[in-house]
Amino acid sequence: GAGVSQTPSNKVTEKGKYVELRCDPISGHTALYWYRQSLGQGPEFLIYFQGTGAADDSGLPNDRFFAVRPEGSVSTLKIQRTERGDSAVYLCASSLTAGAAETQYFGPGTRLLVL
Amino acid sequence: TQLLEQSPQFLSIQEGENLTVYCNSSSVFSSLQWYRQEPGEGPVLLVTVVTGGEVKKLKRLTFQFGDARKDSSLHITAAQPGDTGLYLCAGWSFNKFYFGSGTKLNVKP
């Protein structure tokens, strides 16, 4: 079956612009996670959804970052007034539900470059 | 500051050698997962350990969860070039996963 997909695969934007990153999780997965990965580092937690609600958004760096999952499936990560420091790979993962023993299935990521 | 520290950061070895990668923390985790990530792709889960002292084997890979559930190790026997990649540990705490900084492994033929 289809895995987690993310669009676009690459995004180049200018400082100060607004960007949207999309994640299509595996069908039936209720938990959806967003991570940010900088070069040479492990993924850094941003936010996770259980269904339509953000169960934990403690990893969002500031109020320029916002994420939604209105119908409990597709999610969009929105970044306002982008800064050069936002450049990274943004990874999305989904799992059947949220829990310590659950398998997270990752998408290939969106590579964001802010010039 | 990373909640999970991995060592070594980089490892370059010859095919056939054995190696161990470590994942350490001062925090207790409900579970510990190991992932492998290749360039341009997302991480892929290798194993989940949930019980202190648990040992799991996956072909040439052996995973161990520390008795106190604060640390874990990954041992690879007779490494092959196909094992090359970034190995990440992730611990479940406070209802989310925290990832380590990763160990970049290169196995030379």
> Distance (Å) from the C-alpha of residue B22 to the closest C-alpha of chain A?
14
Contact A56 B95 (CB under 8 A): yes
pLDDT for the residue numbered A40: 84
Closest among B47, B103, B99 to B79, alpha carbons compared? B103
- Comparing CB atoms, the residue among B48, B95, B102 nearest residue A98 is B95
The pLDDT tens digits of the residues spanning B78-96 come to 999 999 999 999 999 888 8
Contact B102 A108 (CB under 8 A): no
Closest among B21, B25, B35, B22 to B1, alpha carbons compared? B25
Closest among A57, A59, A61 to A69, alpha carbons compared? A57
Integer-rounded Cα radius of gyration of chain A: 13
pLDDT greater than 90 at residue B2: no
DSSP for residue B81: G
Closest among B62, B36, B34, B57 to B47, alpha carbons compared? B34
Nearest CA in chain A to B100: A42
Any A CB within 8 A of B50 CB: yes
Token code pair at residue A42: 């492990």
Report residue B1's pLDDT band, with 50, 70 and 90 as the boundaries: low
Residue A2, helix vs strand vs coil: coil
